[in-house]
Amino acid sequence: MTNSRPSLYDLKFDELQSALQGWSEAAFRAKQIWEWLYVRLVDSYEAMTSLPKPLRDRLAAEYPLGRLTPQVDLLSSDGWTRKILFALPDQAQIETVLMEYDTRNTVCISTQAGCAMGCTFCATGQGGFQRNLTSGEIVEQVLFFDREVRKGERANQRTGASPDPRSTDHRLTNLVLMGMGEPFANYHQLIDALQRLSDPIGYHFGVRRITVSTVGLVPMIERFTQEHLQVNLAVSLHAATNDLRASMLPINKRYPLEVLIPACRAYASATHRRLSFEWALIENVNDTPEQARALAQLAKGLLCHVNLIPLNPTHGYNGAASTRERIAAFRSILDAQHIPNSLRVRRGIDIHAGCGQLQQANADH
């Protein structure tokens, strides 16, 4: 954990209330500040104009408003994907990505700087672990991009331009925790962040529009099931037999498929949410007919959807993305077994939009 000071985004509402109480401030101030932060989304203390100057000064002295500093800001050549590499106060770095699809604005956020899980094909895993993010650092990534998305709307209003047809809704519509890090290895900060983001008197982001992706930390999936949140769960499966999966995702040695799949089943039946299985297609590794059949077997009877994505190449891994023919053959086996599946288009390759790839590229230069 970082030893630098908590930011205002790190505070729960009751923590803010007691801090203000300790300063003998009126009780309504907490609500006012909360609104500036999570409803009006201001990014400076000066903008909180309903607060007396001395209070603003004191807040600024005690709590930095945020801790993320954009370092590299890239737009993909098609203009639909934007990625920012943020520096944290201790110089750790994280990546956040905004993707626009038709009417959707999806932000993909990080939960850790680096990752300790060591998945062989993943740029973040290849870079190792730095530290857990605080709940405020998780929340702040979302607010940062929400402001950016809204700026587009304001610019249109000013110029009288018709809304950008590519993003009909100038709001974030979806939030995925699929950036750097393993969310369930930073469980408490994750839960705090989800609560703050979905807080009805604050940001009030719908939990059904949030997806948490995990490599398969089974005890934490079980614990998450007990939270009774309506959050979507994505599980990085990538292989349907233990030997292959363990060779790609070391965590499989600890939590093999025979414990992972029942935990997935329990989550789906407790929440009635359709689970996603993530599958990076790697030529001659996990795109074989045998793997497709084994996957169909695992997925049978489970409320799930398989998200196929051709491997994004990384420095530390030799495999190649599957060819179009092999992908089609793989999918036809799933289709024949009535396993819902879709192929995600690789987007933002030119800006290293894959997990952990921008930081890897940046470190090279």
Partner touching 354 among ligand SAH, ligand SF4, none, CB below 5 to 8 Å by kind = ligand SAH
Q: Which of 108, 115, 304, 355 is catalytic?
A: 355
Query: Residue 115, interface with ligand SF4 (CB under 6 A)?
Result: yes
Q: Assign 3-class secondary structure to 242-298.
A: HHHHHHHCCHHHHCCHHHHHHHHHHHHHHHCCCEEEEEEEECCCCCCHHHHHHHHHH
Burial of 53 from C-beta contacts in 10 A (0-12 / 13-18 / 19+): exposed
CA distance 326 to 195: 42
Q: Is 85 in the site for ligand SF4 (CB under 6 A)?
A: no
- C-beta closer to ligand SF4: residue 20 or 295: 295
Residues within the interface to ligand SAH (CB under 6 A): 121-122, 178, 182, 213-215, 236, 278, 280, 309, 311-312, 314, 354-355
Residue from 125, 136, 310, 348 binding ligand SF4 (CB under 6 A):
125
Rg (alpha carbons) of the chain, rounded to whole number: 21
Q: Which residue has the tokens 């996957």?
A: 295
Name the minimum Å distance from CB 332 to ligand SAH.
Answer: 21
25 is catalytic: no
In angstroms, give the least distance from the CB of 229 to ligand SF4.
21
Token reading at 218? 């089974």
Please state, in angstroms and rounded to a whole number, the distance separating the CA atoms of residues 353 and 98. 10
Q: Is 215 in the site for ligand SF4 (CB under 6 A)?
A: yes
Considering beta carbons, is residue 333 or 355 the nearer one to ligand SF4? 355
Residues in binding contact with ligand SF4, number by CB under 6 A? 12
221 binds, among ligand SAH, ligand SF4, none (CB under 5 to 8 A by kind): none
| Euclidean distance between CA atoms 188 and 176, whole angstroms | 17
CB atoms within 10 A of CB 268: 17
**Does 117 help bind ligand SF4 (rule: CB under 6 A)?**
yes
Q: What are the angstrom distances between the C-alpha of 52 and each of 58, 269, 356?
A: 10, 51, 42
Q: Is 234 in the site for ligand SF4 (CB under 6 A)?
A: no
- Does 130 sit near ligand SF4 (CB under 6 A)? no
The active-site residue out of 25, 46, 95, 304 is: 95
Buried b or exposed e, range 142-158, using 16+ CB within 10 angstroms = bbbbbebbeebeeeeee
Whole-Å CA distances, 356 to 3, 54, 301, 353, 360 = 24, 42, 34, 8, 6
> Which span sits near ligand SF4 by CB under 6 A: 58-66, 116-124, 264-272, 300-308?
116-124
Smallest gap, in angstroms, from Cβ of residue 359 to ligand SAH? 13
**Which is closer to ligand SAH, CB of 9 or CB of 121?**
121
Q: Which amino acid is at 138?
A: I
Residue from the set 355, 358, 359, 360 that interacts with ligand SF4 by CB under 6 A: 355
CB contact at 8 A, 167 and 103:
yes
Closest contact distance (angstroms) between CB of 354 and ligand SAH is 5
Output 182 or 287, the one with its CB closest to ligand SAH.
182
* Residue 236 interacting with ligand SF4 (CB under 6 A): yes
- Closer residue to ligand SF4 in complex, CB, 181/202: 181
Pick from 294, 272, 268, 276: nearest CA to 342: 276
Give least dist CB 312 to ligand SF4, A. Answer: 11
What is the bridge-based pairing of β-strands 104-108 and 81-87?
Answer: unpaired
Residue 236 or 286: the one with the smaller Cβ distance to ligand SAH is 236
In the bound state with ligand SF4, the residue whose beta carbon lies nearer, of 38 and 129, is 129
Direct distance between the N- and C-terminal alpha carbons of the chain, in angstroms, rounded to an integer: 28
**Is 304 tagged catalytic?**
no
Catalytic positions are 95, 355
- Chain positions contacting ligand SF4, by CB under 6 A: 115, 117-119, 122, 124-125, 181-182, 215, 236, 355
